[in-house]
Amino acid sequence: MTKLMIVEDDTSLREIYSIRLTAEGYEVVSASDGEEALAVAVREKPDLVISDVMMPKISGFDMLDILRSTPETKDIKVIMMTALSSEDQRKRGEGLGADRYLVKSQVGIEDVVNTVHEVLGDKQAQPAQPVVTDATTINPAFTQQPETQNNAGQQ
């Protein structure tokens, strides 16, 4: 089973992401700050880390820098999630090796779930379902309309 780690100092957000990603079939572990995240990452070896940037003790950026420079954790995929929307912050995250950088105010929980699938490459994007406008969409055999019984009087 694919293991994710959520690093978020906001307990409610951490729980919401954990519940939703568990529903997707992932095993989820969590940490409330960057320092705890580093210990959990070495111990649990998650496939992907979703991390806040602004946290107590060690920031998400510093945590990412340490993850990337530690042999046991250097290959873990990382999605940074933050309230920091400046281009400088995005470049810093990408420069440190983040696989994705999401701004919390610009994404919802389903965007996060889709990004997790995308980064892990574990699920193809779901194609849009066709809109059923008539029976021919479901079964092309319905394109032949039955003859009406009232054709006898027409010439």
Decide if 78 is inside a domain.
Answer: yes
Q: What is the pLDDT of residue 98?
A: 95
Which residues lie below 8 Å from residue 117, measured CB to CB, with a gap of 6+?
Answer: 24, 123, 125
Q: What is the C-alpha to C-alpha distance for residues 14 and 129, in angstroms, rounded to an integer?
A: 31
The residue ranges of the chain whose pLDDT is under 70 are 124-155
Decide if 28 is inside a domain.
Answer: yes
Structural domain including 118 reads 3-144
Q: What is the C-alpha to C-alpha distance for residues 37 and 44, in angstroms, rounded to an integer?
A: 10
Q: What is the CATH number of the domain that holds 45?
A: 3.40.50.2300
Q: What is the pLDDT of residues 30-59, one digit of tens each?
A: 999 999 999 999 999 999 999 999 998 999
Helix (H, G, I), strand (E, B) or coil at 112: helix
Decide if 57 is inside a domain.
Answer: yes
Integer CA distances (angstroms), 120 to 51, 114, 132, in order: 15, 10, 33
Q: How many domains does the chain have?
A: 1
* Strand ranges (E), the chain: 3-7, 27-31, 48-52, 77-82, 100-103
Decide if 154 is inside a domain.
Answer: no
Q: What is the C-alpha to C-alpha distance for residues 45 and 38, in angstroms, rounded to an integer?
A: 10
Instruction: Identify whether the C-beta of residue 31 lies closer than 8 Å to the C-beta of residue 17.
Output: no
Q: What is the pLDDT of residue 79?
A: 97
Q: Vertex 25, ends 7 and 130: CA angle to 5°?
A: 115
- Judging by DSSP bridges, how do beta strands 77-82 and 27-31 pair with one another? unpaired
Decide if 149 is inside a domain.
Answer: no
Decide if 155 is inside a domain.
Answer: no
Decide if 152 is inside a domain.
Answer: no
Q: What is the pLDDT of residue 116?
A: 96
Decide if 112 is inside a domain.
Answer: yes
The count of residues in the chain is: 155
